[in-house]
Amino acid sequence: MTQPPQYAPQYFVKDHCLYESGVNRQGAFTRKLCNLAPAVLREISMDDGVSSAKFVRLGGVHQSGRTLPEITIPAEEVEGLGWIVKYWGMDCILEPGLKTKSSVWNALQTTALNAEKVTVFSTTGWRQIDGDWHFLMPGEDRFTVELPSKMRGYRIERRCEMLDIQTAASLLWQPPAPEEIMLPLLAFTFLSSLNHFLKEAGCEPKFVMLLSGKTGSRKSTLAALTLSFFGRFTASELPLSFRDTANSILYNAFALKDVLTVIDDLHPSSRMEEQKMNGTAHPCRRSQFQKI
């Protein structure tokens, strides 16, 4: 936290400690509330396309002068103040008193008036925002998109230039695989970005694509090549694997709307592993999202 918190007039900071001043039946008073100065830094709306959840980014300074680490917690957990000790340590002390906790909470709320308010999208793909259509991806200048850590390869690096078009076209002029493989694969790749509007028109694609071949035939390399239209991927850094659980695959794939993804490594080494992978593949097929 680089700027001192801006509290309502009845609260002030002295020696990095939060104080309250006011008037009661006994007259004017000043009392110490806690040995830190906490503040709301940012209010975050996490939008997954189905619902929106509120989170709060908090920071502060301890009496010792050390900057407290910034934390992000669900909005409904802020009022309880249990996060102070949980994340910042036992030496962050609230003073005794019946109204101390409610005063600290009220003071913290007043800092939210100056806090940044942002919307973070947790899915990719087409969204209508303020009447206009936008294709959401991490790296987008106008919107913040954050995906699960396994999806870190997805990203818009820069705007499309002529060199990009020429590079994409070279996959047709000098295909790295036979045309009977490359043409359907490229068609499937770009079909994914049309999925939203095809669904709206009542003709959403209901199939998956399988790349099958012997070990060493460069299946993963070819998958990574086409997937790189949506980010940066290599054969060893594909987003999903049949060695993940079905729940993990479905959870991560939910964030990947209108983009291609890959579930790699359908290569069981034993009968037991084959049964496990088949058990993972069935719910993925039933979900009918597009996969290679």
Same domain, 163 and 283: yes
Check if the beta carbon of residue 57 is closer than 8 Å to that of residue 75. Answer: no
Check if the beta carbon of residue 109 is closer than 8 Å to that of residue 5. Answer: no
**213 falls within a domain:** yes
- Which of 121, 140, 175 delimits the end of a domain? 121
pLDDT tens for 213-261 read 887 788 888 999 999 999 999 988 888 888 878 888 888 888 999 999 8
Position 292 pLDDT exceeds 60 = no
Instruction: Work out the percent of the chain whose per-residue pLDDT is above 70.
Output: 92
pLDDT value for 122: 93
pLDDT value for 244: 79
Per DSSP, the chain holds a count of helices (H) and strands (E) of 8, 12
**176 falls within a domain:** yes
Q: Enter the tokens of residue 65.
A: 């002068």
Which residues form the domain of 198?
Answer: 159-287
**2 falls within a domain:** no
Q: Taking residues 67-78, what's their average pLDDT?
A: 96
27-34 and 17-24: which strand pairing?
antiparallel
pLDDT tens for 155-201 read 987 677 788 778 778 888 888 888 888 899 999 999 999 989 998 99
Q: Enter the tokens of residue 196.
A: 């939203």
d(CA 90, CA 34): 12
d(CA 135, CA 193): 9
Domain count, the chain: 2
Q: Nearest 5°: CA angle at 78, between 74 and 84?
A: 110
Same domain, 184 and 243: yes
Position 283 pLDDT exceeds 80 = no
Same domain, 40 and 98: yes
Token pair 């002068």 in the structure block, residue: 65
More confident call, 288 vs 284: 284
**149 falls within a domain:** no
Position 290 pLDDT exceeds 50 = no
Same domain, 55 and 175: no
Please tell me whether the overall predicted TM-score, pTM, comes out greater than 0.85 for this model: no
pLDDT tens for 13-50 read 999 999 999 988 888 989 999 999 999 999 999 998 88
